[in-house]
Every structure is written in structure tokens, then in C-alpha cells.
Amino acid sequence: MKVKLISHTPQPERMVAVAARLCYAPVGGENLFNNLTDLEVEKLVRFIIKSRHLSTTEHIVFTFSIEGVSRALTHQLVRHRLASYNQQSQRYVKFFGNYSYITPPTIKNNPKVFTKFEEMIESIHKFYEEMLAAGVEAEDARYILPNASETKIIVTMNARELLHFFSVRCCNRAQWEIKNLAIEMLKIVKKVCPIVFEKAGPNCLRGPCPEGKFKCEAPPKPSDFDAY
Ligand SMILES: Cc1cc2nc3c(=O)[nH]c(=O)nc-3n(C[C@H](O)[C@H](O)[C@H](O)COP(=O)(O)OP(=O)(O)OC[C@H]3O[C@@H](n4cnc5c(N)ncnc54)[C@H](O)[C@@H]3O)c2cc1C
């Protein structure tokens, strides 16, 4: 899995502080952006996060390039609606010879099924290529490709959506691959936005686990999400 933060709002925490301060200020946003001190920014952002006035965090956006993940993962990712996505197309990109796939650790580490898994993927891909060679359009040949197929996606989320995404997808209840992605993304944004994301992560970092009978045996520790 390759996860890179390729773009984000400049001075994101200053932007959040400006949005917060504007509500009570006699001057406009430009003035505040240029004149708030670093200490004022820090205090305002801490207050905003603690008081959950999270609309102010919608002004800062983060764009990630994500590669080396499965279509099973991206199918879950794009369920998060308050985000923008662009994904490598299986209609326009033909996987002739260059087909990659993701193998879950439970399959890789199970000698009873691993070889068969690899053989089946290889044979599926061979038939996919046969269909392309026989004139089937890529958009139809792809119907045979599995959830394991490797894909690339760009996602842009604002900080409020990221906080929500981290609360459900860094949780041990989340599927392993999207959980790994969410943890990577959290570690990365913590570096550029340390106060906003200081306590981000699964709900159990901030209070009781809401998962009831699905509660996990070994809840994560805050240090599992430390910034890179
Ligand atoms: C552990 C786990 C298991 C899951 N299992 C399944 C499953 O078996 N089947 C399945 O179909 N899905 C499943 N999901 C996906 C889940 O149902 C959601 O679709 C997904 O997590 C997106 O989250 P969301 O809907 O909270 O918020 P997002 O789409 O990320 O939106 C963020 C928030 O904005 C608000 N919001 C967004 N859109 C609306 C709207 N239209 N109306 C009102 N408020 C809105 C809500 O407060 C929402 O929480 C699972 C998710 C997890 C984490």
C-alpha cells in the first residue's frame, strides 16, 4: 500500500482558527488570517476541537494518492459520501501483462489455500487477456476480475469527514485493509495538523466503545496512531 498526501490547504490550523474567530470578530477573514498570532491559533483550534464546533474544520481539505490497494478496499472507501474521488478505470486501462492483485495476510499465511489462490488469480487473468485478444471490450472483460485487483485512487476529504472516517475505519471492527489505510492517513495528517487530529482515531480513544457485543478484545492505544 502506498499512501501519499499530495496536497492540502496551506496553513490548515490557521484556517480553522480564522473560521472560528470570524464568528465573533469585528474584522474579516483576511485580516484575521494575517494577524492572529500562533498562540491565538493554537488556543482557538484546541477550543474548537474540544467543544466540537466542527464546521470550522470543513474549510481545510486533504488530497491523498493511494496505490497498491484492492478494489475490495475502494468499494468500502467510496461509501464515505462527503469526499471526492477519482479512480483508475478498468474500462480505459487494459491489464495486459501488468495485472497486480492484493493477497490478504490470512490467505498468504495459510499454506492450505495460498497456492490455489495464486493459481486461480493467474488463470482468471489469463482468461481476461484471452477475452481482450478475442475482441471483448475491456469494460466487459473486467467482469471476470476479482475484488483482489489492485487499484489506484485519489481522494480528497475535509478534516471533519476525515475525523469521522478515522473514528469508524481505524476501529478494530473495520476490515483489515481499509483499517491499515485509515491508520496511514491519520499518521500523515497528524504531522501537518497536529491539534485537529490529536485525539483522532477510533471512538474508544475518547470514551466508551460504542460497539456493544462486537467490542474488541484488545483496543488500540493512542500511540498506535502517532504521527510519522
Ligand atoms: C465496521 C463497518 C462495517 C460495515 N458494514 C457494512 C455492511 O455490511 N453493509 C453496508 O452496506 N455498509 C457497511 N458499512 C458502511 C457504512 O454503512 C457506511 O456506509 C460507511 O461507513 C460510510 O459512513 P457514514 O454513512 O457514517 O458516513 P459518510 O458517508 O462518511 O458521511 C459522514 C456523515 O455525514 C452525515 N451524512 C452523510 N450523508 C448523509 C445523508 N444522506 N443524510 C444524512 N446524513 C448524512 C452522517 O452523519 C455521516 O455519518 C460498514 C462500515 C463499517 C465501519
One digit per residue, pLDDT tens: the chain, 228 residues? 999 999 999 999 999 999 999 999 999 999 999 999 999 999 999 999 999 999 999 999 999 999 999 999 999 999 999 999 999 999 999 999 889 999 999 999 999 999 999 999 999 999 999 999 999 999 999 999 999 999 999 999 999 999 999 999 999 999 999 999 999 999 999 999 999 999 999 999 999 999 999 999 889 999 999 998
Instruction: Compute the distance from residue 80 Cα to the ligand 1 centre, in Å.
Output: 6
pTM: 0.96
Query: Is there a contact between 196 and 15 (Cβ–Cβ < 8 Å)?
Result: no
Q: Whose CA is nearest to atom 27 of ligand 1?
A: 80
Ligand 1 and 52: CB distance under 6 A: no
pLDDT for res 144: 98
Backbone torsions φ then ψ of 7, nearest 5 degrees? -165, 150
> What pLDDT score does 228 carry?
84
Report, in this order, helix, strand and coil percent for the chain, each rounded to 5. Answer: 50, 15, 35
Measured CA to CA, the distance from residue 56 to residue 160 in angstroms comes to 8
In short, whether 168's Cβ falls inside 6 Å of ligand 1 is yes
Q: Is the CB of 164 under 6 A from ligand 1?
A: yes
How many Å lie between the centroid of ligand 1 and the Cα of residue 79? 6
DSSP code for 155: E
What pLDDT sits at residue 40?
98
Mutate to test the pocket of ligand 1, among 164, 167, 180, 215 (most ligand atoms within 8 A of CB): 164
Q: Which one of the listed residues 142, 169, 173, 206 is annotated catalytic?
A: 169
Model pLDDT, residue 107 = 98
The beta strand positions in the chain, using DSSP E, are 2-8, 61-70, 83-87, 150-158
Sheet with 83-87: list strands edge to edge.
2-8, 61-70, 150-158, 83-87
Q: What are the C-alpha distances in Å from 35 to residues 18, 88, 136?
A: 10, 43, 62
DSSP 101: B
Instruction: Tell me how far the alpha carbon of residue 50 lies from the centroid of ligand 1, in angstroms.
Output: 24
Residue 206: active-site member? no
Pairing of strands 61-70, 83-87: unpaired
Residue 227: phi, psi to the nearest 5?
-65, 150
Which residue has the least CA distance to atom 23 on ligand 1? 80
pLDDT for 171 equals 96
Rounded Cα–Cα distance for residues 143 and 150 (Å) = 15
Q: Which of 168, 177, 203 to mutate to test the pocket of ligand 1 (most atoms within 8 A of CB)?
A: 168
Q: 174 CA distance to ligand 1 centroid (A)? A: 12
The per-residue pLDDT for 208 is 92
Rounded-to-integer distance, Cα 206 and Cα 223, Å: 13
Instruction: State the Cα–Cα distance between residues 183 and 179, nearest whole angstrom.
Output: 6
The reported pLDDT for the residue numbered 97 is 87
Name, in order, each residue with C-beta under 8 angstroms of 185's C-beta and a sequence gap of 6 or more.
Answer: 3, 5, 64, 162, 165, 166
User: What are the cell numbers at 93?
Assistant: 486501462
